[in-house]
Each structure stands twice: as structure tokens, then as C-alpha cells.
Amino acid sequence: QVQLVDSGGGLVQAGGSLRLSCAASGRTFSMHAMGWFRQAPGKEREFVARITWSADNRSYADSVKGRFTISRDNAKNTVYLQMNSLRPEDTAVYYCAAGPFLTPDPYKYDYWGQGTQVTVSS
């Protein structure tokens, strides 16, 4: 019912910035939360940030707080992740996700994008 396409990853030097985009289509009205997760090689998928469609409720992982900003454009059905002051440890595949609950638990999200690679060089 919901399709997500994430994009915007790439190679950037430490201290640089990237903006990721997640375009949603389908029955998005039933998905109250949109989130960003990331997964590095050999590690579990971890929560990065989340936002609601209908209210300005946002949450961030401690590791990115103050550096990353999640936002949305409801008219375009798009969620963004602005990433500033990037560090090598931010290197991972980043995934957008949609689900009915406000939670950092990836198992509670029903739909996922294909992932976009972010690589930060030192």
C-alpha cells in the first residue's frame, strides 16, 4: 500500500553535509510516523530520526542530535534528512521507513525504502 524511494547519499569529506530524501506514495495517510534508520557493515540497523505527518513531533538518536534535522513536505509526500558536520562513523546505508507508531524500534515500521549509501571520508 505504501512505496518509499530514498535517495541523496554519496561520498563526502568529514565535516561536510548531505541531504537525504524519501518520496512516499500510496496509502500514506495510515502511516503516522516516518523514520530514518542506518546500518553499517556488521552492525544492527539503528534508529536515527523520526517525524509525524500531521504534527511537528520529532525525535533523534543521541549520536546525531544537533547535527541532523528531519523535516517533511506534506504536499510533496516527501521526508528529508539534513545531515551536517558528518563524521566517518556516520558511514552507513540509510533507509527511510513508515509505520503507525512513534517508536525507535525498526520492527514496528511496515514499509522501507531501498537504502542509500552515505560514505564519510576522514
The 10s digit of each residue's pLDDT in 24-54 is: 998 877 778 999 999 999 999 999 999 987 7
Grid coordinates of 12: 563526502
* Whole-number percent of the chain with pLDDT over 90: 80
Confidence of residue 55 (pLDDT cuts 50, 70, 90): confident
The 10s digit of each residue's pLDDT in 70-92 is: 999 988 899 999 999 999 999 99
b/e for 3-29, b at 16 or more Cβ within 10 A?
A: ebebebbeebeeeeebebbbbbeeebe
pLDDT at position 38, please?
98
pLDDT at position 53, please?
78
